[in-house]
């Protein structure tokens, strides 16, 4: 096993690593210090241990992209960010406070306390959504309360910035989130709706108020889908002392249809702070779940929902160009030719956004080895090589993203990525001719034949061998 190694006492970019304070499923947290920063510092590194860590690598990449762009009291201040080319890390503010997790161990708690906690979190969501970020992992362990009382979101590995490329949506085809809290939109792989965070907050409030999870602890994708049509047991059925106004708020938050939820976190925060202003509906007095007829109707309606459409990363009309970079040994001349063509396109297409992609081919027979002979993670190494290939382009981060995919069918993977990314053009290299390639077909020819957008195939003469 291997991971991004950090040693106690080591100095990294001026940060002295002092103590390991938490090991999570996707990251390791250290306490650190810096001579130019007053107080303690949190030093976070990705936890990369096996072949299934592509989500860890991409999620940490997203957090390194998003967190430095955020500001305000509801997120940690970022001091420095590393890079996979040298050492990936995020050095950030140490939050003097606790997560909400210990409070959940004590649930149920009094309704007034539920509302007070909910108002703090909803207020933090207002600030986050104004910065065009959807957290997508609202849960007790990802929310801290400062000593001064404000809620702070941590762990942005599953987040979506609406004006940045969404690496998770582009590279993975599974719901991303924590099972008890994940919204129906996330189950359907729609990551572009801020009301997903309101649903998750509703789940959190339900648990605080009742001591139970509204949708249990699902262990499969099919179990996750039940929240698209099955309503939870009304909170007042579990705890009769819950006031009608709080049940109204909670059940409105966890409506399967986002159009029936609170449309903004600001409105939710206001209602939690002013219970007298809550407009009561039949939700407030509900004491049992929907009858079998209503359940069947909701189930049929959920089954009829079309697949979620991939969400554009921005409201702008900037053209998206997918650049398929071949980094195979012996084909450096093709990578150079592709770079030249990419430079030309960037110079001629105004405001183009590039998605640089490389596919690591998996074998259907042999198990994928995550590490090379030197103990380096192959996915990380390929990501570093891809960034190094694009570095001379000199593009801003908002106009450039990097994606390392792992697939058995390279052409299918490229085509799926281009479709979900709303690509306007694909740039791809074509390798040299051979009888085998004519028989089996080539990746570039399949992409040309099946792509939904313009495809530019870059060719280059093979370098001639020289003798000394």
> 61, 93, 125: which is the final residue of a domain?
93
Report the CATH number at residue 297. Answer: 1.10.510.10
Q: Assess if residue 415 is contained within a domain.
A: yes
Q: What is the pTM of this model?
A: 0.77
pLDDT (0 to 100) of residue 376: 76
Q: Is 156 found in the same domain as 39?
A: no
Report the CATH number at residue 65. Answer: 3.30.200.20
Q: Is 111 found in the same domain as 61?
A: no
- 134 φ, ψ to 5°? -105, 125
Cα(238)–Cα(208) distance, integer angstroms: 12
Range of the domain at 165: 97-303
Residue 90: Cβ within 10 Å count = 23
Q: Is 437 found in the same domain as 326?
A: yes
Q: Is 84 found in the same domain as 40?
A: yes
What band does 349 get if pLDDT is binned at 50, 70 and 90? confident
98 near 104, Cβ under 8 Å?
Answer: no
Q: Assess if residue 280 is contained within a domain.
A: yes
Cα(40)–Cα(55) distance, integer angstroms: 29
> 78, 93, 108: which is the final residue of a domain?
93
Q: Is 155 found in the same domain as 241?
A: yes
User: Is 250 or 413 the better-scoring residue by pLDDT?
Assistant: 250
Q: Is 70 found in the same domain as 127?
A: no
Cα(390)–Cα(343) distance, integer angstroms: 10
Give the chain's domain count: 3
> 64, 93, 122: which is the final residue of a domain?
93
Residue with tokens 């009094």, as numbered in its chain: 110
Q: Is 182 found in the same domain as 272?
A: yes
Residue 316: Cβ within 10 Å count = 10
The partner residues of 133 in beta bridges, in order of sequence, read 161
pLDDT in tens, 63-90: 999 999 999 999 999 999 998 888 899 9
Q: Assess if residue 308 is contained within a domain.
A: no
Q: Assess if residue 207 is contained within a domain.
A: yes
Q: Is 336 found in the same domain as 287?
A: no
Of how many residues is the chain composed? 468
Q: Is 399 found in the same domain as 265?
A: no
Range with lowest mean pLDDT among 215-224, 230-239, 317-326, 357-366? 357-366
Of 189, 59, 340, 214, nearest in space to 67 by CA: 59
Q: Is 236 found in the same domain as 158?
A: yes
Q: Is 278 found in the same domain as 295?
A: yes
pLDDT (0 to 100) of residue 201: 98
pLDDT in tens, 418-445: 887 778 899 998 876 544 344 344 888 8
213 near 206, Cβ under 8 Å?
Answer: yes
397 near 385, Cβ under 8 Å?
Answer: no
Q: Is 87 found in the same domain as 101?
A: no
pLDDT greater than 60 at residue 365: no
CA distances from 317 to 16, 300, 355 (A): 44, 36, 15
């Amino acid at each position: 096993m291997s991971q991004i190694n950090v040693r106690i006492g080591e100095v990294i970019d001026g940060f002295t690593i002092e103590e390991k304070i938490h090991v999570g499923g996707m990251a390791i947290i250290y306490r650190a210090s810096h001579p130019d920063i007053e107080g303690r510092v949190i030093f976070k590194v990705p936890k990369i241990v096996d072949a299934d860590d592509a989500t860890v690598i991409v999620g940490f990449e997203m957090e390194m992209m998003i967190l430095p762009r955020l500001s305000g009291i509801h997120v940690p201040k970022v001091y420095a960010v590393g890079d996979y080319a040298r050492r990936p890390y995020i050095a950030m503010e140490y939050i003097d406070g606790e997560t909400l997790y210990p409070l959940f161990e004590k649930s149920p708690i009094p309704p007034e306390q539920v509302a007070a906690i909910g108002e703090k979190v909803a207020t933090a969501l207002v600030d986050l959504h104004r910065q065009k970020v959807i957290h997508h992992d609202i849960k007790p362990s990802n929310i801290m309360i400062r000593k001064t009382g404000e809620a702070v979101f941590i762990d942005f590995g599953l987040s979506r910035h609406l004006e940045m490329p969404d690496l998770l949506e582009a590279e993975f085809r599974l719901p991303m989130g924590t099972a008890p809290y994940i919204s129906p939109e996330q189950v359907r792989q729609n990551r572009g709706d801020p009301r997903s965070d309101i649903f998750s907050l509703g789940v959190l409030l339900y648990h605080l108020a009742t001591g139970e999870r509204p949708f249990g602890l699902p262990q499969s994708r099919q179990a996750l889908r039940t929240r698209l049509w099955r309503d939870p047991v009304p909170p007042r059925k579990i705890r009769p002392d819950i006031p009608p106004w709080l049940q109204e708020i909670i059940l409105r938050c966890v409506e399967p249809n986002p159009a029936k939820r609170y449309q903004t976190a600001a409105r939710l925060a206001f209602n939690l702070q002013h219970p007298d202003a809550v407009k009561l509906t039949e939700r407030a007095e509900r004491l049992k779940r929907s009858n079998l007829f209503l359940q069947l109707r909701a189930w049929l309606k959920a089954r009829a929902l079309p697949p979620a459409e991939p969400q554009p990363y921005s409201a702008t009309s900037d053209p998206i160009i997918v650049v398929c970079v071949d980094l195979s040994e012996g084909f450096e001349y093709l990578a150079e030719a592709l770079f030249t063509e990419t430079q030309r396109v960037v110079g001629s297409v105004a405001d183009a956004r590039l998605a640089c992609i490389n596919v690591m081919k998996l074998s259907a027979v042999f198990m994928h080895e995550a590490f090379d002979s030197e103990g380096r993670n192959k996915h990380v190494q390929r990501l570093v090589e891809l960034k190094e290939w694009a570095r001379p382009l000199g593009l801003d981060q908002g106009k450039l993203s990097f994606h390392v995919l792992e697939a058995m069918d390279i052409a299918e993977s490229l085509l799926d990525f281009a479709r979900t990314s709303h690509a306007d053009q694909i740039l791809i290299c074509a390798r040299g001719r051979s009888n085998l390639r004519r028989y089996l077909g080539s990746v570039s020819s399949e992409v040309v034949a099946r792509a939904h957008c313009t495809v530019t195939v870059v060719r280059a003469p093979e370098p001639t061998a020289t003798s000394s």
